[in-house]
Amino acid sequence: MKRTLGTCYYPEHWPREIWEEDAARMAALGLTWVRIGEFAWSRIEPEGGRFDWGWLDDAIDVLGEAGLKVVLGTPTATPPRWVCDKHPDMFAVDADGRRRGFGSRRHYCFSHQGYLNECRRIVTEVAKRYGRNPHVAAWQTDNEYGCHDTILSYSSAARQAFRGWLRARYPGHGNDGDIKALNAAWGNVFWSMDYDDFDQIELPNLTVTEPNPAHVQAFRRFSSDQVVAFNRAQVDIIRQYSDAPISHNYMGRIVDFDHFAVGEDLEIATWDSYPLGFLEDRVGATPLDQRHYARQGDPDFQAFHHDLYRAVGKGRWWVMEQQPGPVNWAPYNPAPLPGIVRLWTWEAFAHGAEAVCYFRWRQAPFAQEQLHAGLLRPDSVAAPGFFEAEQVAEELADAPDVAPAQAPVALIFDYDAAWSWEVQPQGQGLDYFGLVFDLYRAFRRAGLSIDILPPTQRQFDGYRIVAAPGMMVMPDDLKTALMASDTEVLIGPRSACRDADFNIPVPLPPAWPDLDVTVSRLETLRPDMPIAVAGGGSVRNWFEHLEGGAEAVFETESKMPVVMRSGTTTYCGGWGDDAFFDRLVKDLCNRAGVETLDLPRGVRVRDTATERFWFNHNPHDVEIEGETLASAGVRRDPI
């Protein structure tokens, strides 16, 4: 498959007179895809039951006739005012009990049945009308599930649905569930929290002190399931009317629902990549790195998500929204370094993207995102990003097709674990994503390509190293599958430390057959008290006291084991700093026979089946194997 480019376009925002010219310029730029429609409900159905299809028919035709392929979005992220008036309780409620009302977007509760039915209705109408339209080549459901913290809702609808979900999880006679089973599973005896009936169970907000972690984790799982069901309702309808692939555009570092589970129902995973906005508001880099990469974005954050969504999309994935200039929503919004939009685009292709679409075609002069750059300025003059997209389009002409290759290293990413860590961080600011990402970055610094795997993976053939740090619930068959493989397996800290109901298992974790290691005690550490590891690096944040007869691979300077191993299974009892994780990665690679590289700061490598890519994320040139790689430069070596 040829690599392609695209953009996001809102014909409803612009005068009819300029659509043809816009379409022609898109085509001339070398774009293939144009995503439309995802916020247009109020223009498609201005009042309940009255549809205005004319403009959309027209827009699709204009774009299609220009040679573009349309990705059509379902407009359910922005229900119009009249829908909300019809369902005044359809809004999500925040943890403080406040209704999250109309006036921006994503103003709905996933559990509200009335709204879900409205969605089924509008999706049916749209799918019916455009399901066989020759220009509609793909679909998108809704927009950025989870953006603006919209997964968890403390509404009446959610409470009602949660009780039903719990009944199904702890089933009993009739429809009533087995409340004693729930009490036992959650340990409700602890503070006399026993229930007599599922209808007594509230959502876990506004308690005096923290609620039962089992209660919260159940609510997290329920909330994720509601997203899956909401999305599936749309997919089921679209499939009745269209053969085009269906996608959803996920958002960076949002772990509030299980992307793998949603992805199961879709053909393509896409994500929205805003490297500068993310560096400012969610990467969690050090202040020095935030300064160094302020105009380039973090050198690993996009790569991680590329690898993640390759897994979520079962191989098929896009960047649906690529930042082309300054955005409007981060704490600070600098302009990208010249050349870096091109680098971002090529990096996505290096990680296997089929398409990269720039958001948005033209900067809107009105409403919330008026300071969000597009490929064009509000006055239709080409913005700097336009020319970098143009360069990529030209380069793509001679470039090889999408050519995925299995990576030597696999990292399991488990949304359930992300919730578990949030429910019980045990130390300020400790989170699962941060732990996994720290290890991912160490593999990247060693020049390695990485595959991310879902927690349901049981087949590890071809991998030399598989890591599953921090995965708090590890089913027995996963343990078995990992042990059965001949790969080096890295687990810990915190791996396999809870059962399915959020209880500490006995025997104590990790209870890993053939690995004589027990976590006898754990502690979390102030940032100013790292524990030095003999030979270099240190453990910080999280430290487990390990017992057992396995070999101590790394020890603290005071001779406490940090990493222990039996055979090909390695348990790491701490959250390391960069130096420590670099040592651990080198150690595993040595054992696994995986070659590593010594890369300058800010330089990263990624291999496809046909090429090795080098990316210079620095604002200055670097020397690579005797050659200069310019700032924001991309080098492609055939393999």
Q: Which two tokens stand for residue 214?
A: 């089992």
- Per CB under 8 A, the list member of 21, 65, 210, 578 interacting with a copy of itself is 210
Neighbouring C-beta atoms of residue 329, cutoff 10 Å: 14
Report DSSP letters for 603-635, one per residue: EEEEE-SSEEEEEE-SSS-EEETTEEE-TT-EE
Instruction: Choose the one of Zn ion, a copy of itself, none that binds residue 61, judging by a C-beta under 5 to 8 angstroms depending on kind.
Output: Zn ion
Does the annotation flag 105 for ligand binding?
A: yes
Interface segment toward a copy of itself; rule CB under 8 A; list 210-218, 342-350, 440-448, 470-478: 210-218
Q: Select from 365, 388, 394 the least CA-distant residue to 375.
A: 388
Q: Which residue has the tokens 């066989």?
A: 132
Q: Considering Cα of 535, then 532, then 442, then 481, what sign does the dihedral take?
A: positive
Q: Select from 316, 435, 323 the least CA-distant residue to 373.
A: 323
Q: Which two tokens stand for residue 65?
A: 């006739």
Whether the Cβ atoms of residue 593 and residue 558 lie closer than 8 Å to each other? no
Torsion of CA 488, 494, 496, 502, to 10 degrees: -160
Q: Where are the alpha helices (DSSP H) in 293-359?
A: 301-312, 340-350
Interface segment toward Zn ion; rule CB under 5 A; list 57-65, 256-264, 276-284, 496-504: 57-65
- Per CB under 8 A, the list member of 240, 503, 590, 628 interacting with a copy of itself is 503
Q: Tell me which residues in 121-150 interact with a copy of itself (CB under 8 A).
A: 147-148, 150
Does the annotation flag 589 for ligand binding?
A: no
Question: Per CB under 8 A, does 1 bind a copy of itself?
Answer: no
- Per CB under 8 A, the list member of 88, 171, 365, 404 interacting with a copy of itself is 365
Distance of CA 521 to the CA centre of its chain: 32
Interface segment toward Zn ion; rule CB under 5 A; list 56-64, 268-276, 515-523, 565-573: 56-64
Instruction: Choose the one of a copy of itself, Zn ion, none that binds residue 202, judging by a C-beta under 5 to 8 angstroms depending on kind.
Output: a copy of itself
The residue (of 70 and 584) whose beta carbon lies closer to Zn ion is 70
Whether the Cβ atoms of residue 435 and residue 564 lie closer than 8 Å to each other? no
Q: DSSP 3-state assignment of 232?
A: helix
Question: Per CB under 5 A, does 67 bind Zn ion?
Answer: no
Q: How many residues in total does the chain contain?
A: 639
Minimal distance, residue 5 CB to Zn ion, in Å = 21
Q: Tell me which residues in 177-196 interact with a copy of itself (CB under 8 A).
A: 186-196
Q: Tell me which residues in 389-418 interact with a copy of itself (CB under 8 A).
A: none
Instruction: Choose the one of Zn ion, a copy of itself, none that binds residue 47, judging by a C-beta under 5 to 8 angstroms depending on kind.
Output: a copy of itself
Minimal distance, residue 115 CB to a copy of itself, in Å = 14
The residue (of 61 and 125) whose beta carbon lies closer to Zn ion is 61
Q: 45, 144, 354, 388: which one is catalytic?
A: 144
Q: DSSP 3-state assignment of 438?
A: helix
Does the annotation flag 109 for ligand binding?
A: yes
Binding mask 280-319 for a copy of itself (x = CB under 8 A): x------x--xx--x-------------------------
Q: Select from 547, 552, 548, 545 the least CA-distant residue to 574.
A: 545
Binding mask 545-564 for a copy of itself (x = CB under 8 A): x-------------------
Q: What is the DSSP letter of 203?
A: P
- One-letter amino acid at 5 equals L
Q: Which two tokens stand for residue 439?
A: 């290890």
Instruction: Choose the one of Zn ion, a copy of itself, none that binds residue 75, judging by a C-beta under 5 to 8 angstroms depending on kind.
Output: a copy of itself
Minimal distance, residue 539 CB to Zn ion, in Å = 50
Question: Annotated catalytic, 144?
Answer: yes
Binding mask 502-531 for Zn ion (x = CB under 5 A): ------------------------------
- Per CB under 5 A, the list member of 61, 94, 125, 202 interacting with Zn ion is 61
Minimal distance, residue 135 CB to Zn ion, in Å = 6
Torsion of CA 602, 606, 612, 614, to 10 degrees: -20
Binding mask 95-124 for a copy of itself (x = CB under 8 A): -xxxxxxxxxxxx-----------------
Whether the Cβ atoms of residue 364 and residue 370 lie closer than 8 Å to each other? yes
Q: Select from 606, 617, 533 the least CA-distant residue to 285.
A: 617
Instruction: Choose the one of a copy of itself, Zn ion, none that binds residue 54, judging by a C-beta under 5 to 8 angstroms depending on kind.
Output: none
Q: CA-CA distance, 292 to 308, in Å (whole number)?
A: 25
In the chain, the N- to C-terminal Cα span, in Å, equals 19
Q: CA-CA distance, 146 to 255, in Å (whole number)?
A: 8
Q: Which residue has the tokens 């070999």?
A: 551
Binding mask 421-450 for a copy of itself (x = CB under 8 A): ---x-xxx----------------------
Q: DSSP 3-state assignment of 373?
A: coil
Does the annotation flag 572 for ligand binding?
A: no
The residue (of 64 and 80) whose beta carbon lies closer to Zn ion is 64
Instruction: Choose the one of a copy of itself, Zn ion, none that binds residue 64, judging by a C-beta under 5 to 8 angstroms depending on kind.
Output: Zn ion
Contacts of residue 317, Cβ cutoff 8 Å, sequence gap at least 6: 268, 269, 270, 271, 306, 309, 310, 352, 353, 354
Q: How many residues bind a copy of itself (CB under 8 A)?
A: 108
Question: Annotated catalytic, 321?
Answer: yes
Instruction: Choose the one of Zn ion, a copy of itself, none that binds residue 231, judging by a C-beta under 5 to 8 angstroms depending on kind.
Output: none
Question: Per CB under 8 A, does 48 bind a copy of itself?
Answer: no
Which parts are annotated binding residues? 105, 109, 143, 329
Which residues in this chain contact Zn ion in the complex, by CB under 5 A? 61, 64
Catalytic residues: 144, 321
Which parts are annotated binding residues for Zn(2+)? 109
